[in-house]
Structure 1
Amino acid sequence: MTAPGPVAWSRGTWTTAPVAVAEEGPDLLVTAAEGSDAWRHTSYGFVHDDAHALLAPLGDPGAVEVAFDADFGARFDQAGLVLRADEQTWLKAGVEVSDGVLQVGAVVTLGRSDWSVAPVPGWAGRTVTVRASRAGDAVTVRARAGDEPFRLVRVAPFPAGVPAAAGPYCCAPTRAGLVVRFRRWATGPADAALH
């Protein structure tokens, strides 16, 4: 994987403005609104499109990385990255609290959302980096804690040739007061290989 270059927080545009945003040195602190979420239809029957995503255009092919502190305490607290073409075509990937433990996963939405997770209790309280690499008709999602090797999270379909934007996101479906410290946002060329 080629090392991506940093993106200034000021380059992005919020899909839904958070409760508060503050720059602290190189970091961005984002306070999520209670009840914010991103989901379409499947199983739950509702549509939520008010997660706080800070997005800028991403090349096709191209890759985006977001690093943040996984310091969460309430059910469904979450942060990571979003890749979005429109309200029915998007992917969010990162970590969230589910079933009482921190989980790494992704939601892929092509009209309807799906969800996949895997427990990563050892990532709690650490800096997590999530990477999405878009090429052709697919997005490859990888993640890691600290400087550990990236692990494959998901290979997902995404429409080829459709303009999309990407960047950090967070939301707090079940509570007020979630503050996420984002440490880095970067973009670069797509990964040369899946493995």
Structure 2
Amino acid sequence: MNEQRVIDWADATWLNPPLHAVRSGEDLVVTTRDRSDFWRTTSYGFVRDDGHALLTGLPDGSAMEVTFVAEFDTLYDQAGLMVRVDERTWIKAGVEMSDGVPHLGAVVTHGMSDWSLSPVPDWRGRRVTLRASRSGDAITVRARRDEEPWQMVRLAPMPPTAVALAGPFCCSPQREGLRVRFTRFALGPADASLHS
């Protein structure tokens, strides 16, 4: 997982600009708008496509990494990495507050969204990195806390001919004002294997 190129924040484009996005040294501090979210239909019956994502190209054979720190305290506060083809085809993966505990999870959307979560209470307030590796017909999502070993989060389908974008995302479906400090945004080669 080497040979990465750091992406300048200015070299990516906002899908739904946040309330604030301010550089702080090398970091980007983002503040969410009220009731921002990404979701399509399943169980809740609504479509939301107004979360904040800073996106750039994710060609086949590449992997995107995003690192952030956030203090989640409200239900559904979330931040991480998004891979997006269009409003009906996307993946978001990261840390999300659910039942008072931070969870590591992913939503994969092909027309309708799904949702998977696993509690990570000791990740609260820590530096988290998400990695989306694109190879052939798949996106492999991994995550880690600080410099700990990578954990597998999801293996999801992605049409090999799709033009996909990727980058940091955050949203706060229940409020305004989640602040996320994104500390790294980098692109490199796709993982050589599903297993590290």
User: What is residue 156 of structure 1 aligned with on the other side?
Assistant: 156
User: What is residue 119 of structure 1 aligned with on the other side?
Assistant: 119
Structure 2 residue ranges without an equivalent (≥5): none
The TM-score normalised by the length of structure 2 is 0.97
Distance, in Å, in 2 between the alignment partners of 1:98 and 1:23 is 29
Distance, in Å, in 1 between the alignment partners of 2:194 and 2:3 is 16
Distance, in Å, in 2 between the alignment partners of 1:130 and 1:3 is 17
User: What is residue 103 of structure 1 aligned with on the other side?
Assistant: 103
* TM-aligned CA deviation for residue 30 of structure 1: 0.5
Distance, in Å, in 2 between the alignment partners of 1:103 and 1:90 is 20
* TM-aligned CA deviation for residue 3 of structure 1: 4.6
8 Å contact kept, 1:51–1:169 = yes
Runs of 4+ in 1 over 4 A off after TM superposition: none
1:2-21 correspondence runs (5 A): 2-21=2-21
* TM-aligned CA deviation for residue 56 of structure 1: 0.6
Of all paired residues, the percent bearing the same amino acid is 57
Structure 1 residue ranges without an equivalent (≥5): none
Distance, in Å, in 1 between the alignment partners of 2:90 and 2:177 is 26
User: What is residue 193 of structure 2 aligned with on the other side?
Assistant: 193
Deviations 1:125-162 (A, max 9, x none): 10000001011111110000101001001111111111
How many residue pairs are counted as aligned between the two chains?
Answer: 195
Deviations 1:86-131 (A, max 9, x none): 1111000000101110000100001110010100000001000000
User: What is residue 52 of structure 1 aligned with on the other side?
Assistant: 52
* TM-aligned CA deviation for residue 2 of structure 1: 2.9
1:22-41 correspondence runs (5 A): 22-41=22-41
Aligned to 1:10, the other structure's residue is in SS state helix
Aligned to 2:113, the other structure's residue is in SS state coil
Distance, in Å, in 1 between the alignment partners of 2:15 and 2:3 is 27
Stretch of structure 1 that moved more, 66-75 or 23-32: 66-75
Mapped pair 1:85 → 2:85: yes
Mapped pair 1:136 → 2:101: no
8 Å contact kept, 2:137–2:160 = yes
User: What is residue 173 of structure 1 aligned with on the other side?
Assistant: 173
8 Å contact kept, 1:70–1:95 = no
User: What is residue 73 of structure 1 aligned with on the other side?
Assistant: 73
User: What is residue 62 of structure 2 aligned with on the other side?
Assistant: 62
RMSD between aligned residues: 0.8
